[in-house]
Amino acid sequence: MTQGSAPQGAEHEDPRRRIPRTDALLALPAVERARASLGETVIRGIVRAAQDRARAGEITPEQVEDAVLGAIGDHPAASMRPVLNATGVIVHTNLGRAPLSAPARAALQDAAGYTDVELDLMTGARSRRGAGARAALLAACPAAEDALVVNNGAAALLLATTALAAGREVVWSRGEIVEIGAGFRLADLVSSAGARVREVGTTNRTHAADYTAACEDGQVGALMKVHTSNYRIEGFTSEVGVAELAGIAHEHGLPLIADLGSGLLRPESVLPGEPDATAALESGADVVITSGDKLLGGPQAGILLGTAATIARLARHPLARAVRADKLALAALEATLTGPVPPVLAALRTDPAALRRRTEALAARIGGELVAHDGRVGGGGGAEVPLPGWAIALEPELAPALRTGEPAVVGVLSQGRLLLDLRCVPEDQEDAIVVAVDAVREPR
């Protein structure tokens, strides 16, 4: 060996040569079993990532196999993680809005394969799509002559205004032209489809005469009534109710669109000020729009209820095909409507005394303090309506670890404390909260 030359011998070989081969890693029994839930591309990506870590010196070649097995064991089929909602907000948009009932979840499973979504099994002929969901909606809301389901509330509004008023004006109170989450403005949606928004009245006061005057020039395609949902205007105010507005619309041969948003089909005693589809239809609205994944407690869906003629007009429009609901949403919606009280309404109707007993017992188990805490409807429903209840106060520094732990627990940071509200936590998940808190808290 000459001076300055590289040393020879196995003990000095490049350690990267010891990185396990791809075919050997793919042949591991645990990797073979993972193919039942993970695709080949994902599995090869995990293998390649572990090998790359070894090439970069982050792990030794001997650790590559363990890295692959660990990544495969921790790799879910989808990236979304189940979360325990301890915020007290029932319809929490960031947490997926309405949790589905057990029958709705079973319906999703049944509908995941081939299904008779558009087939009459008796005759073998094509049938009306979503007939079961439509029948369930009409049974739950007899004031409607017909119903149509699309993929979400925004799609329902887009379809209604396009089919009824494209190229014409939609008359809309300035106090109801709202912006909702993520900067989404309903007026922009309506305008995008070719209808022109005509604002009437002022922010705080709109009168019947404002609508009547707008209808006189012959440019109007429809009148609009929108439930402001996530805010209130109080004080020196005036608005025109559905019944009076329907009279003005029908006098001028125009349809009235009522966008309620929050998902109530019938009056709810806990939220006496929240509008419902039945009342709006009985007051003369030609089509009522509501959401399936809010207070109705079902899957994401836009629900249109109305007169037979109006719903037929919407269903015939080409846009209806582009925004139609898929078989999973139709199945879950039908099961929600025909099944027991869904989790959303159960949480809404929670007895504060019963909630206190649950919260007090769990607080004792995890070393927290019982505090009063008002829940909320969320999702734009029941704006500013508190739902009296209770929560467990813990150390605020636990919040990040609980959010990222297993299971993930999301609470509320308030006044220097982490609050865990059990309103939306199923009773059979309380032990999971104990496990989660014990896992992240320093020994007491």
Q: Which range is least confidently modeled, 67-71, 144-148, 386-390?
A: 67-71
Q: Structure tokens of 361?
A: 């017992």
Alpha-carbon distance of 263 to 275, in angstroms, equals 9
Q: Radius of gyration over alpha carbons of the chain, in Å?
A: 28
Instruction: Lay out the sheet containing 256-261: strands in order across.
Output: 146-150, 302-306, 287-291, 256-261, 220-226, 169-173, 196-200
Omega prior to 407 cis, within 30 of 0: yes
Q: Tell me how crowded residue 150 is: count the other CB atoms within 10 A of its CB.
A: 27
Mean pLDDT of the chain: 93
pLDDT digits (tens, 9 = 90+) for 107-132: 999 999 999 999 999 999 999 999 99
CB atoms within 10 A of CB 318: 8
- The set of residues, in sequence order, having a beta carbon less than 8 Å from that of 311 and lying 6+ positions away, is 145, 146, 147, 148, 287, 304, 305
The confidence band for 259, taking pLDDT boundaries of 50, 70 and 90, is: very high
Angstrom distance (rounded) from CA 53 to CA 26? 17
83-92+346-440: CATH topology: Aspartate Aminotransferase, domain 1 (3.90.1150)
DSSP 325: P
Instruction: Report how far apart the first and last C-alpha atoms of the chain are (Å, whole number).
Output: 63
Cβ burial, residue 340 (10 Å; 0-12/13-18/19+):
exposed
Average pLDDT in the 299-318 region? 98
Crossing angle of helices 208-215 and 242-251, in 10° steps, is 20
Given this model, what pLDDT does residue 215 score? Answer: 95
- Lowest mean pLDDT: which of 136-145, 245-254, 260-269? 260-269
pLDDT at 8: 54
> Quick one: pLDDT at residue 184?
86
- The full length of the chain comes to 444
Q: Do the Cβ atoms of 256 and 305 come closer than 8 Å?
A: no
Cα angle 97, 312, 278; round to 5: 50
11 pLDDT band, cuts 50/70/90, is low
**Cβ proximity of 318 and 359 under 8 Å:** no
Lowest mean pLDDT among 2-11, 238-247, 321-330, 426-435: 2-11
> Residues near 165 by Cβ (< 8 Å), separated by ≥ 6?
195, 220, 221, 222
Provide the pLDDT for residue 406.
87
Strand pairing category for 302-306 and 390-394: unpaired
pLDDT at site 40 = 93
Q: What is the pLDDT of residue 442?
A: 67
Tell the CATH topology of 101-339.
Aspartate Aminotransferase; domain 2 (3.40.640)
CA nearest 213: which of 252, 175, 241?
Answer: 252
**Under 8 Å CB-to-CB from 65, ≥6 apart: which residues?**
20, 25, 28
Query: What confidence tens digit (pLDDT) does each residue in 377-399 have?
Result: 998 888 778 999 999 999 999 99
Q: Are strands 184-185 and 83-85 parallel, antiparallel or unpaired?
A: unpaired
Q: Is 188 helix (H, G, I), strand (E, B) or coil?
A: helix
- Higher-confidence residue: 426 or 181? 426
DSSP states of 396-413: GGGHHHHHHSSSEEE-EE
User: pTM surpassing 0.75?
Assistant: yes
The pLDDT-based confidence of 212 (bands split at 50, 70, 90) is very high
Percent of the chain with pLDDT over 90: 84
Does 34 score more than 80 pLDDT?
Answer: yes
User: What is the C-alpha separation between 166 and 238, in angstroms, rounded?
Assistant: 29
Give the position of tokens 């627990």: 409
Residues 370 and 392 sit within 8 Å (Cβ to Cβ): yes
Report, as an integer, the average pLDDT of 227-250: 92
Q: Answer whether 51's CB lies under 8 Å from 64's CB.
A: yes
Q: What is the pLDDT of residue 12?
A: 65
* pLDDT for the residue 443: 58
- Residue whose structure tokens are 């813990």: 394
pLDDT tens, residue by residue, 314-348: 999 999 999 999 999 999 999 999 999 999 999 99
pLDDT at 101 over 50: yes
**Domain edges within the chain:** 13-74, 83-92+346-440, 101-339
Over residues 87-100, the mean pLDDT reads 96
- The predicted pLDDT at position 367 comes to 95
Strand residue runs (E) in 112-158: 146-150
Side chain identity at 206, as an amino acid letter?
Answer: T
Residue 1 has pLDDT above 70, yes or no: no
CB-based contact 248:224 (threshold 8 Å): no
